[in-house]
Amino acid sequence: MPRFVCQSATCRREIEIALQLGNGMGKVSKPRCTCGSEMKKVYMKPAFRELSEAEALLLFGDGGMQSIRKLGAFP
């Protein structure tokens, strides 16, 4: 669920939106705080992890495994 924070220096309220916001064209609109300021999505640092051989096969098929094996990730 996306989290938003108010951009007003005096307010700084945070909300979590349960429903997907959008204008019908797939673009997310920015909500407004009760103080009237625009809210901005909270930055979430990406989390990386290593794929297992089974996950790599599902995502990339056999061609992907050939590339991965060349890199030395799997024997």
Total residues found in the chain within this entry? 75
Question: Domain count of the chain?
Answer: 1
- Confidence bin at 37 (pLDDT 50/70/90): very high
Distance (Å, rounded) from C-alpha 13 to C-alpha 35? 9
Q: Give mean pLDDT, residues 45-54.
A: 83
Domain membership of residue 15 (yes or no) is yes
> What is the pLDDT at residue 2?
79
State which residues form the domain around 24. 1-42
User: Residue 25: its pLDDT value, please?
Assistant: 54
Query: For residue 29, which of 3, 20, 56 has the smallest C-alpha distance?
Result: 20
The answer to whether the predicted template modeling score (pTM) of the entire model surpasses 0.85 is no
Which of 13, 28, 64 has the alpha carbon at shortest distance from 4?
Answer: 13
Q: CA distances (Å), 38 to each of 11, 42, 56, 63, in order? A: 11, 13, 41, 46
In this prediction, residue 46 carries a pLDDT of 86
Res. 41: pLDDT tops 90: no
In-domain check, residue 27: yes
In a domain, 72, yes or no: no
